[in-house]
A and B are shown apart, each in its own frame.
Chain A
Amino acid sequence: MKRYLNFFIALIAIQGDLYAAEAGMPQLDPKYWASQAFWLILVFTVLYFSISKFYLPKIKNNLDDRENRIKDDIEDANKSKELSESKLKEYEKILEEAKKEVIKIQIESKAKLDKDIHEKKEKIEKEIEKELIQAQKEIADLKKNSISDIHNISKEIAANIIENISGDKLNESSIKAAVEEISKKNVGKYL
């Protein structure tokens, strides 16, 4: 295989030598081939070692650092997210409990209030009834008294009027009978 390659290189070299001058391809002029090969190998070797020993590990480190940092950050973010979600759930739970309690308190206070109102209402109704009865009684008494008073007053007025008109004193019992007769007729009209 190497023999072929040597042969190939030699072929190019010979042809290059032949054509370099006339065809004007400086690439085929072997004068500086050795120099170019030498400097290429030298420069590339230096380049290779400084890149592989120095720069590539640096770049790799930095890329790895960044990747780790991003991974860590994402992890942190996920943790924070989980935390906030659990906090949110807790908050919602508390809110729900508070709502339940509110409803409970509402019902309780309403029941208490209802009872209170009912009791007071009953008490007041009783009192009102009592007072009503008493008032009725008083009214009945008053009615009775007032009828007898009216009789007396009417009697006196009637006696006075008769005395003034006729100048005679009439029998008291007859006046009384007349007044009572009239009042019996009319008392239902006014009382």
Chain B
Amino acid sequence: MAGNPMQQFSVHKIGPEINIGGVDLSFTNASLFMVISAAIILIFLFVGTKEKKIIPGKVQLIAEMFYTFVAKMISDTAGSKAKPYFPFIFSLFMFVLFCNMVGMLPYSFTVTSHIIVTLIMALFIFIAVTIIGFAKHGFKYLSIFVPSGVPAVLLPLITVIEIISYLSRPVSLSVRLFANMMAGHTMLKVFGGFVISLGLLGGWLPLSFSVALTGLEILVAFLQAYVFAILTCIYLNDALNLHH
């Protein structure tokens, strides 16, 4: 585990190999940390909703803060029509946030630092939003590619750009999260390695960097979960309220 900073991202099998229809679906350390993150969320919510107090306890207060935070985020960006999707956005935000945060623990595994995980989430959002858009507006949904108030000369160009930007949504959404998490953790690992290699004499400098970077990475972990959720809200807003 020591040398290679990319070692921390390697996936390995835990327990027996599960092979269904020729596809390897074995339980891995990635799966383990998905389960751990989800379990932490569920335990946290269980404790937070166990006692229905008028004056909330600490955990209940935090759970309610998450609720109001996500509710406000959705109503601010996507309006009241997005209410049915609140549970999904909430779950998504909590899952990404807790995966990122659990990944900050030493010797843990960061689920969201894998492109395949973020890509599947982003693709699901992209496809779902597209379906919602067509279901709500029919073919009028295509008008999302034709912004109003653009000179006729520029319209073909703008439309092409809009189509490309729309199609690149899942890529940008997934790569943003994956790259942020991977880069941050790699950097932490590299500075951690410097601490060891410089020893007692020079190690304090990368160590202080490491401490600062840990703080920064916790911020990034929260921020990326927030960005992921709020972009989902914005895409949803485009699909629900067609006023592009």
Question: Which residues of chain B have C-beta atoms less than 8 A from A40's C-beta?
Answer: 34, 111, 117, 120-121
Question: Which residues of chain B have C-beta atoms less than 8 A from A142's C-beta?
Answer: none
Answer yes or no: A140 CB below 8 A from chain B CBs: no
Majority secondary structure of chain A interface residues (helix, strand, loop or mixed): helix
Question: Which residues of chain A have C-beta atoms less than 8 A from B30's C-beta?
Answer: 32, 35-36, 39
The chain A residue sitting closest to B20, CB to CB, is A38
Answer yes or no: B2 CB below 8 A from chain A CBs: no
B91 near A47: Cβ-Cβ < 8 Å: yes
Chain B residues 104 to 120 lying within 8 A of chain A, measured CB to CB, are 111, 113-117, 119-120
B117 near A36: Cβ-Cβ < 8 Å: yes
CB distance from A48 to the nearest CB of B (A): 4
CA distance A37 to B25 in the complex (A): 9
Answer yes or no: A182 CB below 8 A from chain B CBs: no
The chain B residue sitting closest to A59, CB to CB, is B67
CB distance from A78 to the nearest CB of B (A): 20
B side interface size, CB within 8 A: 54
A63 near B64: Cβ-Cβ < 8 Å: yes
Answer yes or no: B198 CB below 8 A from chain A CBs: no
Question: Which residues of chain B have C-beta atoms less than 8 A from A63's C-beta?
Answer: 64, 67-68
CB distance from A111 to the nearest CB of B (A): 66
Interface string of A70-88 (1 = CB under 8 A from B): 0000000000000000000
CA distance A48 to B125 in the complex (A): 14
A25 near B9: Cβ-Cβ < 8 Å: yes
Question: Which residues of chain A have C-beta atoms less than 8 A from B28's C-beta?
Answer: 32, 35-36, 39
Stretch among A49-57, A126-134, A144-152, A167-175 lining the B interface: A49-57
Question: Which residues of chain A have C-beta atoms less than 8 A from B11's C-beta?
Answer: 26, 29, 31-32, 35-36
Given contacts A27-B178, A34-B23, A63-B64, contact A51 B167 (CB under 8 A): no
Question: Which residues of chain B have C-beta atoms less than 8 A from A28's C-beta?
Answer: 115
Stretch among B35-43, B73-81, B146-154, B229-237 lining the A interface: B35-43
Chain B residues 51 to 106 lying within 8 A of chain A, measured CB to CB, are 52, 54, 56, 60, 63-64, 67-68, 86-88, 90-91, 94-95
A66 near B54: Cβ-Cβ < 8 Å: yes
B6 near A25: Cβ-Cβ < 8 Å: yes
Question: Which residues of chain B have C-beta atoms less than 8 A from A8's C-beta?
Answer: 171
CA distance A31 to B24 in the complex (A): 8
Answer yes or no: A91 CB below 8 A from chain B CBs: no
A47 near B41: Cβ-Cβ < 8 Å: yes
The contact of B87 among A26, A36, A37, A48, by CB within 8 Å, is A48
Chain A residues 3 to 54 lying within 8 A of chain B, measured CB to CB, are 4-5, 8-9, 12, 24-29, 31-41, 43-44, 46-48, 50-52
Given contacts A43-B38, A47-B91, contact A35 B115 (CB under 8 A): no
The chain B residue sitting closest to A29, CB to CB, is B11
Given contacts A32-B11, A32-B24, A39-B34, contact A58 B52 (CB under 8 A): yes
The contact of B63 among A1, A48, A59, by CB within 8 Å, is A59
CB distance from A139 to the nearest CB of B (A): 103
Answer yes or no: A136 CB below 8 A from chain B CBs: no
The chain A residue sitting closest to B26, CB to CB, is A35
Question: Which residues of chain B have C-beta atoms less than 8 A from A5's C-beta?
Answer: 123, 170
A59 near B64: Cβ-Cβ < 8 Å: yes
B31 near A36: Cβ-Cβ < 8 Å: yes
Answer yes or no: A185 CB below 8 A from chain B CBs: no
Q: Can you list 10 pairs linking A and B with CB atoms under 8 Å apart?
A: A26-B6, A26-B10, A32-B26, A34-B25, A41-B120, A43-B38, A51-B42, A59-B45, A59-B48, A63-B67
> 4 nearest interchain CB pairs?
A52-B87, A39-B31, A26-B10, A58-B49
B residues near A, CB below 8 A? Answer: 4, 6, 9-11, 13, 18, 23-28, 30-31, 34-35, 38, 41-42, 45-46, 48-49, 52, 54, 56, 60, 63-64, 67-68, 86-88, 90-91, 94-95, 111, 113-117, 119-121, 123, 167, 170-171, 178, 182
